[in-house]
Structure 1
Amino acid sequence: MQHPAKSQPSQSGLTPHLRRLALATLTAASLGMPMAWAQGDEYADVNRLVRAGQLGEAMAKADQYLTAKPRDPQMRFLKGVIQTESGKATEAIGTFAKLTEDFPELPEPYNNLAVLYASQSQFDKARAALEMAIRTNPSYATAHENLGDVYAKLASQAYSKALQLDGSNQGVPPKLSLIRNLFAADTRGARTSTSVAAAPAPAAAPVPAAAPAPKPPAAAAAPVAPPPASAPAAPAASGDAQREAEAAVNAWARAWASKNVASYLGSYGPAFTPPGGMSRAAWEAERRSRIEPRSRIGVDVSDLNITVNGDRATARFRQDYTSDTLNVTSRKTLELVKSGGRWLIVRESTGS
């Protein structure tokens, strides 16, 4: 992931993973409500407005809904998301804090509180919120990772203070250096795993960091067996296809992050079906409205796994998206088809 949003203070070296928000709407299962009620049109309308960047209208609809149902946890959570994306961190903290009071069994508001506190360098509060998130859901992986980052930051601050109070203590600098190197390695790892941090020239840079990189040794070992020369051709072709599909995914993420809308939309093939029954023209217009106004976008692709079957490929990966005020992590799946020598996206889905 990239640097924190401009509306949030710098986190002074805190590893980027802490800045993710659990921005998806709370599920019916976690809220203990009937599915039909949880998936009402009101939630879908507010979500659609948020995705379209129409935050004022989204807030108006959320407030209108909450006038009739002021305790509704899902809409209140959405309101906190809208406030966060609008750069109203103080109001978002109030919304999520009240949610934790009224619904202490939900871990997501605690996690979001921690992210907002961390963005203000209130790491003790962030730690307490994350510990509560884990207490309510011990298998909440995001909260565990964020808590590790907070502990590392607190340790860095403590070592720095110790060194300031006693500059002759030779045991502190190595510890402080270790944590700083950890943060630096994390940042470098994020930059090599994403196609965003590098300019278009080093497009090949992500290739060594991606899963298909180990393929060349297998191809090199093939000539040891002397059977016909045509035998190794199939694995080599498959490896080439994987690398080409990987390059297509990285180019898609790079175009998105650089706000090159024409290249981004060109990554989708003619057979791509937009979600929600939207027309292709309406979907492209919505994507433009979401991308072009942003002053900063980051798209970090990691844990990329690509399987190829003939002229079709499936890419599964973790996507860390950041913009001016929005930070969200999700699992993404892209289905691609090779057409005219290019791998093009024909289906896109989010989730495990």
Structure 2
Amino acid sequence: MASKLLNLVALSSLAIMAVTFGPASTNALSTGHVHMNRHIDHAPIAKRKRDSSKRCKVRSSTLSSATHSSTAKAETTAKALAETTSQAASTKAATTKAPAKTTSASSSSSTSGSGAAGTGKFGKKGSKICAAWGDGNDINSLKAFKTDHVVGLYDWGVDKPDGADALGYDYWPMLWGGSSDKISAFEKAMAKDKFGTIVLGFNEPNEEGQSNMDPETAASLWKQHIEPQVAKGYKTCSPAMSSRPNGKQWMADFMKACDGCTVDYQCVHWYDIGFDTLKTYLTDYHNQLGLPILLTEFADQNFNGGAQASSSEIFQFMGQALEFIDNTDWILAACPFGIMHDLQGVNTLNLLQGSNGSPTDLGYMVINNSY
């Protein structure tokens, strides 16, 4: 009897140890002296929230520019797209010329796209904010975050929110990674007429916790699934590199492997502390290929184990960033991370959305471009 009791105690202890010391969920990957990057597949966030979000009434005191009628916004968008079609050829020559080493990858870029790129709303002062969207079909939030300054929207996938077109958002579908389910969803969505305007490439393929693929595999998938979209009038943005130093070499290898591919813009992500660091980072990336930059994720966030920025520092950073983005002609648009309630390990002082679904004070600053 005593022997059985001892065995039961031993088994219980082992069970407790297994629970205590099992693998912990991880939001970041240490890269030593540089950034740590999230192990988060963002695409399911929006999908999980589709049709299930409940929000309080949107604060309206400072959102006068967000209350335009859906019809007016749709007409404005259609007009901008029509104007851009006739302007795209000349703009392409002026804004997307790459150095000799990458000409083969970018010289075939379409000049008759659906109108997103570098012209019309995009690339113009005051109209360069895009929404990194995690709220699915939450129509109240869609309305609350749409102003004349917020022109683009993407959701790390192809789950375009209902009402996005009517509100005047320019939707950017993404082929997140190379798995069969991602590819299948992407192809199904892209078969729809006028589904979006800019196709975004793979999400942080230089990261093990993200789409995680070598440049040659990415180039092959690009040729199979993204390049065919150019003939439909889409512009294209490169795979989005994380802040890890290996990103630049990965991108150089991708452009070499994707010889003959159409790459109109360069997508990048940035997480660090301070505006000067961001400015240097973006300038360096632009100089690498000479392509317009689409900054699809950024936040004043320390992933190196040091102190995080204070609220006042974040507001100062955002003001400087908005002004730089606004006045830099080679930046197409920028999407602060992110319009969602859970920033997945990012300093919550960077939140753009409050618990009731409406913009935070920082969010109001961003969507109203009030630097």
Q: TM-score scaled by structure 1?
A: 0.28
Structure number with greater Rg is 1
Give the structure, 1 or 2, with the largest relative contact order (CA under 8 Å, sep 6 or more): 2
